[in-house]
Structures are given as structure tokens and as C-alpha cells.
Amino acid sequence: MDLYEHQARGLFEEHGIPVPRAEVTDSPEGARESARRLGGRVVVKAQVKTGGRGKAGGVRLAEDPAAAELTARQILGMNIKGHTVGKVMLARPVDIEAEFYISYVLDRAAGRFLAIASAEGGTEIEEVAAARPEAVSRIPVDPAVGVTSAKAQEIAEAAGLPPQTVDVLVRLWQVLVREDALLVEVNPLVRTRQGQILALDGKVTLDDNARFRQARWGDEEEEYDDSLEAAAAARGLNYVKLDGEVGIIGNGAGLVMSTLDVVAGCGARPANFLDIGGGASAQVMADGLAVILSDPAVKSVFVNVFGGITACDAVADGIVQALDTVRLTKPLVVRLDGNNAARGRAVLDAYAHPLVQQVTTMDGAARRSAQLANTS
């Protein structure tokens, strides 16, 4: 369960992590009043559960309350990576001297948490790690011991963070433990020219298995979330939005993960993770296609199915019936293999939809999907 930025910010404040003054509103008029209370000049930030808001125009500076109202009017209703902006947060701007990155994330494979920190905050940490991997420190954290002052000092020294961040590192760990989080992130954590340490932006992902302990987020989380992920969840789909252009549908989490890697290796970016499991019925396929095709970033769709308990001809029947109810607007590449694969391919050949292409191998289908996405 991902929290909105303003919710993460509220958690930080509860746990003693300093944040700038801010207010949240869902109307332009409310933005004007919030800006007035905050001193006039404010940063207006779209509240959506995705990154890249600044690049999409969802984070803007407003010089006065009137400008804040106009800016909020422009941002509210925006679509940012499939997420519609329903609220904005207005925060006092700060005079930044330096920006840092800190986070704790669950390392499932190692059975522990990982502290990730860098003295180069303010941009996506993946970009920093790719360009200058030595600038990002990764320090294992034993969950039985946690982040003590000594451990926080170790993390800060490894990443080249100033001593003032040690207390924030300890308190951020407290957020993770007490709120049942799988991820807590501050980017950027800044030092102002006055020497103050502030968390300007935050991301928190709570463990769904701990919802019974974190009931306060239950209703608010979906209050104004009409994102693609919310639409998929309403249909019972196992869907995760990604930043790419090739829509992915597969049966089985392992196969879908492999498909993401193969598509990426062909020079395209997966637009989503969608596992339809063993029940590739017409309705499930129609629901999956409806969600993926509603993503404006998708340029092609790759259906990758290995027939087992659910045979490939049943999957093909599901695709045909789904396309009778869902208008296909992007090229669809289908790879069927396994149980009754030949019959399934024959079903699609007979249907002869002009936007449906079949490729017999996973690598070949991935290459074709990437080509179609990169040329459309």
C-alpha cells in the first residue's frame, strides 16, 4: 500500500523528522487560501502515487496566492503516468544549500533491510546509481538490531552525509518499524542555507499484511485514487504500472518477470506487470486489455502465455472474445506455447484481426513488440 506524499510527510512529522509547513487541498480556491496562510509564495505539488511529477509539470512554484490558484487549476485533473491528480499539496519553498537521498527498503532475498544513501539527492536514485554507482551507498541493516545511533553514523559516513542527518536516519527507521513499512524514502533531504535539515519529499510503502494494524489508512488510501492500478484492482487483476511503452500480459508471475526482462533487453521498456494467472478467461483477458489500452504510454501489447492447466486454445478463445468487447487500438503480439498451442494459434489465425500478430518464440515476440512500440 503506497501512501501519497502528504501522508508520508505527515508520518515524518509525527516521528520528529522536520518538514516544511504544508497544506493539502482539492480545489483551486482552496489553494489560494492555503497559499495565503503559508505566506504567499508556495510550491504546488500534484499528489499522485508515481514518480516523475516534476518532469510532467506536476510540481510548480507559485509566487502569490492568485498564482497558486491558477497553478492548482492547471495541475488538478492532470494525468501523470496513468494517475489523475485529485489533490495538490502546497508547501513553503526553502533556500537549499545541499540535497541528499536516504531510504530503507526490504531486501527479501537476503532477509534483511537495506539502507540506501547518497550525498547526491534531488534526482532519481536509479539515474545516479547508473551514472556514478560509487555515489550510492548500500548498507545492510539487521532487522533484529535496527538502526541505532552508531548504525546511523555508519550509514552517514559511508554516503558522505553531514552529521546532522544521523538523527533523521534513526527516526526514519522508527517510521519503517512502527508503521509496518516495506519502504521509506526521503528525496531530497536538504540542508538549508540556514543549516536546517528538512525532508522535502517522501515515499512510504506499507505492508499490506499489516493492514489490521494500520487501519487509519484503509479508506483514505483509495479516497481519490482513480489510477490504472486502482482500476485494475477493482477488476481483481494483479497489475503494477511501470514507466514504459510495451504493455505486458502473462500467466504466472515468473513468466511475466522474465517477459519484462526480455522486452527490456530488446530496447523497449515494459509499461506494466500484469499476471492473469491460470484463469485466462475471456473476461479476465478483456479486463486486462481494457486497463493496458487505457494507458496512454502504451504503444504495443505483448501477450505471453505458456499453456498448462489452462490450455492455449482456451486462452486464444479468451483473446477473441475479449476483442469483441474491447476496441483494440494498439498492435497486439501474441506468443502461445505449451498445452494446445497449435490449436490456439489456429484460433487466432482464423480470427484474422489486422492488429494481432503471432510469434512462436518469446524472444521473437519480445523483439516484435519492441519494434512496434519504437516505430509507432
343 domain residue, yes or no: yes
The answer to whether 318 and 285 have CB atoms below 8 angstroms apart is: yes
* Confidence band of 280 (pLDDT split at 50, 70, 90): low
CA distance 78 to 44: 13
**Average of per-residue pLDDT across 281-296:** 85
Tell me: pLDDT of 39 over 50.
yes
CATH number, residue 28: 3.30.1490.20
CA distance 115 to 81: 28
Question: Among the residues of 114-194, which ranges form H helices?
Answer: 125-131, 149-159, 165-178
Give per-residue pLDDT as tens, 324-363.
Answer: 888 898 999 999 999 899 999 999 999 999 999 999 999 9
131 domain residue, yes or no: yes
CA distance 49 to 338: 38
The answer to whether 203 and 24 have CB atoms below 8 angstroms apart is: no
322 domain residue, yes or no: yes
Amino acid, res. 321: Q
Burial, 133: exposed, middle or buried (Cβ in 10 Å; 0-12, 13-18, 19+)? exposed
Cis ω for the linkage preceding 188 (within 30 of 0) = yes
What is the 8-class DSSP label of residue 4?
A: P
Residue at a domain's end among 91, 111, 129: 91
Residue at a domain's end among 91, 122, 140: 91
Give per-residue pLDDT as tens, 124-163.
Answer: 777 777 778 888 999 999 999 999 999 999 999 999 999 9
222 domain residue, yes or no: no
Residues 121 and 193 in one domain: yes
Number of domains present in the structure of the chain: 3
Tell me: pLDDT of 223 over 50.
no
Burial, 329: exposed, middle or buried (Cβ in 10 Å; 0-12, 13-18, 19+)? exposed
CATH number, residue 186: 3.30.470.20
Residues 118 and 197 in one domain: yes
* Confidence band of 241 (pLDDT split at 50, 70, 90): confident
CA distance 260 to 344: 23
Catalytic site residues?
101, 185
Tell me: pLDDT of 38 over 50.
yes
15 domain residue, yes or no: no
Tell me: pLDDT of 225 over 70.
no
CATH number, residue 364: 3.40.50.261
Residue 153 neighbours by CB under 8 Å, 6+ apart: 166
Domain that holds residue 73: 21-91
Residues 257 and 356 in one domain: yes
Q: What is the pTM of this model?
A: 0.64
Element (H, E) at 114: strand 112-118
Give per-residue pLDDT as tens, 80-120.
Answer: 877 889 999 999 999 999 999 999 998 877 788 999 999 98
Residues 232 and 371 in one domain: yes
235 domain residue, yes or no: yes
Residue at a domain's end among 217, 244, 266: 217
Residues 276 and 367 in one domain: yes
Residues 166 and 246 in one domain: no
Residues 246 and 170 in one domain: no
Burial, 31: exposed, middle or buried (Cβ in 10 Å; 0-12, 13-18, 19+)? buried
**Average of per-residue pLDDT across 72-76:** 96
Task: Please tell me whether residue 244 adopts helix, strand or coil conformation.
Answer: coil
Element (H, E) at 300: strand 300-307
Residues 296 and 362 in one domain: yes
Residues 65 and 118 in one domain: no
CA distance 105 to 185: 8
Least confident window among 25-34, 231-240, 298-307, 330-339: 231-240
Residues 273 and 241 in one domain: yes
Supply the pLDDT for residue 95: 93
Residues 41 and 124 in one domain: no
Tell me: pLDDT of 10 over 60.
yes
72 domain residue, yes or no: yes
Burial, 77: exposed, middle or buried (Cβ in 10 Å; 0-12, 13-18, 19+)? exposed
10 domain residue, yes or no: no
Residues 243 and 355 in one domain: yes
Phi first, then psi, for residue 344 (nearest 5°) are: -60, -45
CA distance 59 to 44: 6
